Structure 1
Amino acid sequence: MPRRLWLRIGLVVLVVVGSIWYLYPPRESINLGLDLQGGIHLMLGVEVDKYVVGQTERAAEDLKNALERKGVAVKRVVREGLSTVVVELASATNWNDALTVAAELASFEVGQRDEKAGRFTLVMRERQLAQLRDDAVRQAVETIRNRVDQFGVAEPTIARQGDNRILIQLPGVQDPDRAKALIGKTALLEFKLLDEQTPVEQALAGRVPETSEILHQRRVDKETKVERRQPYVVQK
């Protein structure tokens, strides 16, 4: 067969194959967006102030315990408002000792003082307040990302929007009710204290106290994409 004929046949084959590829591209080669293949679009708000309130209440409890260990009797140590701790001493004679203990709370500074009444307040520093709010949103994003992984979505969008909102787009997800139920749980995050008395090795061996449980944090290496699950023992 003449060489020119072979070239013509080859050219025709290439044109046909190229046309088929153009008209019917392999599905895995194209990542369709939310507008083309459908899916779920959500905007969640993180209740950051609830996290701040929880941290303030823990600080008040820690301060109360520290004062009692120091031998300073108190009437009450409670949270007031968003991020203020009110301290009322049983006796003003321990005023200086109480202030010394309170100074150990680096995230707070002394506000109002009434030495005669044995009463003072601690106010969370603005930098710490901003950090807690940022931590709440970042942890929410990570928690949502872990939940979304259960759907096996190729290219989900989980992005922070503004100070306390999270944009979620799940292209191709065909079960919106299940997705909303699963992701919606992450909008109410629960922050737990570490159980520092129980070694992780002991817990993994099955010896977990009734008041504690094991939780895992998912970590993915940005370069190798290798996923690790870090276990923690936390209080229930």
Structure 2
Amino acid sequence: MSKHLYRTLLIWAAIVMALVYVYPTAGWMMLSEEARQARLEKWQQEDDKIARERTGYLQELLAGAKRWAEFDRDKVINLGLDLQGGIHMVIGFDINDLPEETLAEYRRNNYTDADIEREIQQTVLDQITRRINDFEAKEPIIQALGTNQIQVQLPGEKDLQRAKNLITKTAQMNFHLVLGPDEAAKALGAIRDAFPEEFLPFVKMSSLRPDILTVLPENYDRVRRVLARAKEAGVIPEDKTVAFSQAPKPYERQEYQLYVIESKPL
């Protein structure tokens, strides 16, 4: 009898765990696009509030349970293109389309056609991966196909034109003038005054240099959103832009620095 009861309890426990696991996915799939976007924005605000107030473990646990009940996006199972649709793209290239000077440079360095294809494919793969990160897709698949193609899958995404523009746009390098300490301190001070609760808790200020603000990687998205709002509200003038430094390398201090630059390139 006890053995039978143990087996029954084990089966019910497995069923309950399975329901807990699939609940966010089932609920999320039933929401409209408008409802999904509204919840994502609401959760962003809640996450920012928790980070600002540095709540304790119990509060975070309760917030996590509430988020799960609202179909937590982070708990949604990645269903893939076959189950939920999305965007599938294959980007190809031909080394014969390279400029003659570039191809000649490869030849001078004793590159074979296979070597050239391999190097270009890796370069394109790295570039597309960085751009897809800006798309904020849920578990994208980016991988090499053969020797001259890249496959991109964005499950659940619908905006094909935006994806194409993001992936295939031509990269450009621009140079912008970095403003001096006084102008930078004034611009950053205006943002601090306009968004004290949304901005101040997520930046570190130098006690000696008010024009130097740094941001930890985990606060990057929060600060980026505040800067976008400041730009829209006119807090950041049209002729100025607040930019992040490049991502820190593993052996460097893990933080970004904010720079105030001229919007118009040199």
TM-score of the two chains, using structure 1 as the length reference = 0.43
Structure having the higher helix fraction is: 2
Larger Rg computed on CA atoms: 1
Structure having the higher strand fraction is: 1
TM-score of the two chains, using structure 2 as the length reference = 0.39
Bigger RCO of structures 1 and 2 (CA < 8 A, at least 6 apart): 1
